[in-house]
Amino acid sequence: MNMHPDLVRAVILAALAKVPDSTKRRLVSTVPERREQAEDVVAASIVIALAQRR
């Protein structure tokens, strides 16, 4: 089942809005480990949000 691109964007934006601010700040960290961990959290949040829409 394919989702409309606008729905995908809305789900992703909603998932990003729910990510804690501290995680968002770590996305620009100069410490690679912190940045990678934050990227993993964001990616997992998006995947979970998209999976819940199916």
pLDDT digits (tens, 9 = 90+) for 13-42: 999 999 999 999 999 999 999 999 999 999
Looking at residue 54, its pLDDT comes to 72
Burial class (CB in 10 A: 0-12, 13-18, 19+), 37: middle
Answer for the pair 25, 41: CB distance below 8 angstroms, yes or no: no
Grade residue 1 by pLDDT with cuts at 50, 70 and 90: low
Looking at residue 53, its pLDDT comes to 86
3-state secondary structure at position 26: helix
Looking at residue 11, its pLDDT comes to 95
User: What's the whole-model pTM score?
Assistant: 0.86
